[in-house]
Amino acid sequence: MEKLIVHGGYRLRGAVSIGGSKNAVLPILAASLLTDEPVHICRVPDVSDANYMLQILLQLGADVERSSGIARIQCTKDKISSSASYEQVRKMRASICLMGPLMARLGKCTLPLPGGCVIGDRPVDLHIRAIQALGAQVEIHQGNLHIHAPNGLKGTTVDLRGENGPTVLGTDNLMMAAVLAEGTTVIESAACEPEVVDLANFLNNMGAKIEGAGTSRITITGVEKLHGCVHTVIPDRIETGTFMVAAALMGDGVTLRNVCRDHIQDISRLLTECGHKLEFNEEGDTVTITPSKDWKSGKITTAPYPGFPTDMQAQMTALFALTPGISIVKDTIFPQRFMHCSELKRMGADIKVDQGTAIITGVEKLSGAPVMASDLRASAALVLAALAAEGTTEIRRLYHLDRGYEMIADKLLSIGAAVKRSVDLEP
């Protein structure tokens, strides 16, 4: 196993290029199952989740080639298997989004149920409700979802609102199941995230008829077949936000390239309210961050898009740990997503967590410590805190970070951080 060693206190200066979105590319890769023809997906980030998804497709029978960020995938129907094994999917919850395309293409599938994870309970009841509404029968046996649609999938209206609001991968799954279904499917209370829009654009490029993606009502008119296409994945808005926080903490002229201004409005608003200066170019694809010497505390309540993303709250907590005053972070989507706080406290942060809310009193300095990453964004929060801390921090369980950050150590090193990966000899 590897660990990340960070010597804190180095100012950051220079430019970083943001990669393709992990959360957009996962369902897009799964959607390549929907056609016999090859699809070319550009700007596939080199992160372990995308690599697992490509491996799963390969094991399901797809032809997969990858070079310089471009994946070429071809899924010939009679070579594709409808079952994925627990070994294949256990590493990635997003494997649930294989359900929609496998059902659309083969009319049946067997998928291991994804478990919960450290960010909280992660049920799939809405995914099941969606596929049942299209006419599929679902059984759960020995930890597997067995789904089949003996009479094919038929379009209908499905309200996907759950207790905590819309579901992102649930919306993706239903869209992918409906593109080849008979008739029209209307998704009410659909998720509006940019990643859902990117998937809809990809499917429309393949010949699907989807309208309304990016709003809470999506209409899908089933077509007989889809064809190959070339698609470029949107920039990763969470990687962008993470580097924006790094720049707010330690920047001295950091520019981020290949960003999408429209997708990060709430993150930008919050950083601006805290006093940091953001300058976008006219196209909105490059931003320069100038940290404030007179920074202010802030308040976040996570919410579905266009609200503040839950995937950025841990990184903001790291920023607030060093921001004077009292800041408040409430996660309404994953109220248990505060594992990073106990590790930040070991570095000297003053944080109290109670019932889905963290109250953070800014301290003057953090100090480096050995810390343990518990999940993807918690790891990012620890890296950010370590960049600003006095002394050296060693972050263990780097595989969490590698799920969603492409070459993060190299990118940080290139703008002046003192970071290096090292083999961790401890068990």
Ligand X SMILES: CC(=O)N[C@H]1[C@@H](OP(=O)(O)OP(=O)(O)OC[C@H]2O[C@@H](n3ccc(=O)[nH]c3=O)[C@H](O)[C@@H]2O)O[C@H](CO)[C@@H](O)[C@@H]1O
Ligand Y SMILES: C=C(OP(=O)(O)O)C(=O)O
Site pattern 85..124 for ligand X (x: CB under 6 A): ---------x---------------------------xxx
The answer to whether 242 and 53 are in contact (CB under 8 A) is: no
Q: Which does 377 bind (CB under 5 to 8 A by kind): ligand X, ligand Y, none?
A: ligand Y
Sign of CA dihedral 295, 301, 304, 306: negative
Of the residues 23, 167, 268, 317, which one makes contact with ligand Y according to CB under 6 A? 23
Residue 125 sits in the site that holds ligand X (CB under 6 A): yes
Strand partners, 117: 120
Residues binding ligand X: number (CB under 6 A): 22
Q: Which residues contact 51 (CB under 8 A, 6 or more apart)?
A: none
Give the alpha-carbon dihedral of 184, 111, 28, 22, to 10 degrees.
Answer: 130
For the sheet containing 184-188, what is the strand order? 157-159, 184-188, 217-221, 209-211
Q: How far is the CB of 381 from ligand X (least distance, A)?
A: 14
User: Which among 42, 75, 97, 117 is annotated as catalytic?
Assistant: 117
Using CA atoms, how far apart are residues 264 and 267, in angstroms rounded to an integer? 5
Q: Which residues contact 380 (CB under 8 A, 6 or more apart)?
A: 242, 314, 315, 401, 405
Sign of CA dihedral 322, 326, 329, 335: positive
Show binding-site residues: 22-23, 93, 122-126, 311, 333
Q: Which does 103 bind (CB under 5 to 8 A by kind): ligand X, ligand Y, none?
A: none
Of the residues 376, 382, 401, 408, which one makes contact with ligand Y according to CB under 6 A? 376
Residue 77 sits in the site that holds ligand X (CB under 6 A): no
Q: Which does 124 bind (CB under 5 to 8 A by kind): ligand Y, ligand X, none?
A: ligand X
Angle at 50 between CA 271 and CA 334, to 5 degrees: 50
Using CA atoms, how far apart are residues 119 and 334, in angstroms rounded to an integer? 6
Of the residues 158, 169, 190, 408, which one makes contact with ligand X according to CB under 6 A? 169
Is 75 an active-site residue? no
| Residues labelled as active-site residues | 117
Binding site for ligand X (CB under 6 A): 23, 26, 94, 122-127, 162-164, 167-170, 191, 195, 310-311, 333-334
Binding site for ligand Y (CB under 6 A): 23, 93-94, 119, 311, 376-377, 404
